[in-house]
Amino acid sequence: MVEKADLILYNARLYTVDPAQPWAEAVACAHGRIVAVGSNEEILNLAGRATGRIDAGGRLVLPGLTDAHVHFLQYAIRRQEVSLFGVRDFEEVRRRVRQAVEKAEPGQWVQGWGWDENLWDTQPTAALLDDIAPHTPVLLARMDMHTWWVNSAAMKLAGITRETPDLPESRIERDPSGQPIGLLREWNAIRLVEPHLPKPSSAMLQSWLKEAIAECHRLGLTGIHDQRVQREGRQTFRLFQALRRQGELNLRVHMNIAAEHLAEAATLGLQPGFGDERLWIGHLKTFADGTLGSRTAWMIEPFEAEPDNYGLIVTPTEMLNELAVQAGKAGFPLSVHAIGDRAVREILDVLSELPTERRGHEDTKTRGEELSPPRLLASSLPHRIEHVQVIHPDDLPRLSQAGIVASVQPVHLLTDWSVANKNWGRRARYTYAFRSLLNHGTRLAMGSDAPVAPLNPMLGIYAAVARQDERGEPAGGWYPEERLTVAEAIEGYTLGPAYLSGRQAVQGSITPGKWADLVMLSQDLFEVSPSEIPKTTVEMTVFEGQVVYQA
């Protein structure tokens, strides 16, 4: 007998993402779980005196969405800084920075993020900041966060001079005389400046994280996969744990850890899945290369018009091999950042040699089909390649053959399609090759890479379905043969991340027994034209059976 519900949502167009029952009218929740899905009549019979009833008014209701790739602390921090995202007028960039400099206290840093030099006719340099900030140190992170633009005051504080050598797997851009021009590419160069930045207090960071969680709810997100990197160390994990203890972590957090901390994790005996229903340990994160926009992605052939530029190798293959072996001994699957086709190939070479417990029966499951309850051991979690931004066609079948999940961010397409054409030429055909990967049996998990790109999952769904930017360009879609259906894109934000984290038995679809995480939308994504998808807003978000956002 099904118990009386705490909450019933009825009169809905309920897309469950459950192949056994794709569509329904109503859902009942109790004690934070879904207890029944069916018709209005069936579900309303489960109402008691204390049951909350929500009339969806025929609106589309989906499982709570999960962002499979986000740098959440950075997102929370960047929301406080000067935003340059999408700014096409270079003088507007200078105006915003000047305004922040004028408000800054003596000695205070001005920080911003989101710039993209591909939108300008001007090359960013320290000199273009020095006249508006001669004494105030300025740091502006590129939209991909792999390049920092700093002024002379910042370089002086960091001790960056003509004599400063380029560090491994990174580059300090210089003029013909060898003088640094204020662009630092990749982490080892960035680390020259980072220690000099002011550190917000834990209380302030917690406050910013709570604001960011509220923003997630406004966007329909009830879960994230946080991509840990060494430079933030243990800080984010501690902050999430503090919020959990205070009862304020209203988000499912799959917490990846940096590869640099593998030894400590192994010593303590930590493994993926350790945690609870809101915060648990995930994959081991490392990097193979740089990015498209910074022209540091590791390529099989050089960048267009740059015959000597094959990108940067952040983790050499022999080191990646050793890391994979050590991670396997410690019980961790890998999450590897790879943008360029050479980086993707090298990772496939490494990961294809590793045993995967799921590989033996994966081919017997159809896409979207429920798997058996997770064992929450490393062997039950697949390896993942983050981005898979461009892939050689010969490598398309290899992810599914090795049981590797493609963790992709369709929202990048909004700004990257023209950049890919410019930097990769004919190779852009297999950039964001979602349809090709899916047709070869590869599971997709989708995210935003925020703050590198907007957090809004509606933009990601739009990009995957339309393959156009928000201005409708290019006409007809960019390599439209790689488009996904709305249902496939929704699965990328629901069952895809759930499978990737081993939580598919409790997350990712509106199915009895799963967590009661739901989102109600202002428009039916299945009925509106693709161009209307970015205009879709969230009417309500339910987390663990409680309404956490209502428009």
Same domain, 158 and 230: no
377 & 339 share domain: yes
Same domain, 213 and 263: yes
Range of the domain at 177: 109-196
3-state secondary structure 438-470: HHCCCCEEECCCCCCCCCCHHHHHHHHHHCCCC
Q: Evaluate whether residue 89 is within a structural domain.
A: no
CATH number, domain of 169, equals: 3.10.310.70
The domain boundary, picked from 196, 229, 260, lies at 196
Boundary of a domain, candidates 134, 169, 196: 196
Identify whether the C-beta of residue 339 lies closer than 8 Å to the C-beta of residue 292: yes
- Model pLDDT, residue 394: 98
> Is residue 145 situated within a structural domain?
yes
156 and 234 inside one domain: no
Q: Is 416 inside any structural domain? A: yes
pLDDT at position 2: 64
pLDDT tens by residue, 242-265: 999 999 999 999 999 999 999 999
Same domain, 44 and 169: no
Q: Quick one: how far is CA 299 from the chain centroid? A: 22
| Within a domain: 263 | yes
Residues 6+ apart with CB under 8 A from 475: none
Question: What Rg, from alpha-carbon coordinates, does the chain have?
Answer: 23
**What does the buried/exposed string (b/e) look like for 477-499 if buried means 16 or more CB atoms within 10 Å of the residue's CB?**
bbbeebbbebebbbbbbbbbbbb
Neighbours of 14 (CB within 10 A): 26
Find, among 436, 364, 434, 424, the residue nearest to 393 by Cα: 436
Same domain, 402 and 488: yes
Q: What angle do CA 447, 34, 407 make, to 5 degrees?
A: 15
Same domain, yes or no: 296 and 149: no
Q: CATH number of the domain that 34 lies in? A: 2.30.40.10
Collapsed DSSP state (helix, strand, coil) of residue 16: coil
Domain count, the chain: 3
Is there a single domain that holds both residue 185 and residue 234?
no
Check whether residue 50 and residue 127 sit in a common domain: no
Residue 445 lies in a domain: yes
- CA dist., res. 99 & res. 416, Å (int): 29
- In which element (H, E) is residue 418 found? helix 413-424
384 within some domain? yes
> Last residue of a domain, which of 196, 214, 234?
196
Element (H, E) at 417: helix 413-424
425 & 437 share domain: yes
Spatial CA neighbour of 332 closest among 378, 282, 368: 378
pLDDT at 118: 86
Do residue 189 and residue 207 come from a single domain?
Answer: no
206 and 192, same structural domain? no
Helices and strands per DSSP (H, E), number in the chain: 18, 24
Closest CA to 419 of 307, 299, 304, 310: 304
Cβ neighbourhood burial of 383 (10 Å; 0-12, 13-18, 19+)? buried
Domain of residue 211, CATH code: 3.20.20.140
Local confidence pLDDT in tens for the 551 residues of the chain: 567 899 999 999 999 999 999 999 999 999 999 999 999 999 999 999 999 999 999 999 999 999 999 999 989 998 999 999 889 999 999 999 999 999 999 889 999 988 989 889 899 999 999 999 999 999 999 988 889 999 999 999 999 999 999 888 889 999 999 999 999 998 899 999 999 998 899 999 999 999 999 999 999 999 999 997 555 657 899 999 999 999 999 999 999 999 999 999 999 999 999 999 999 999 999 999 999 988 999 999 999 999 999 999 999 999 999 999 999 999 999 999 999 999 999 999 999 887 654 433 333 333 444 433 333 333 479 999 999 999 999 999 999 999 999 999 999 999 999 999 999 999 999 999 999 999 999 999 999 999 989 999 999 999 999 999 999 999 999 999 999 999 999 999 999 999 999 999 999 999 999 999 999 999 999 999 999 999 999 999 999 999 999 99
Domain membership of residue 235 (yes or no) is yes
Specify if 101 maps to a domain.
no
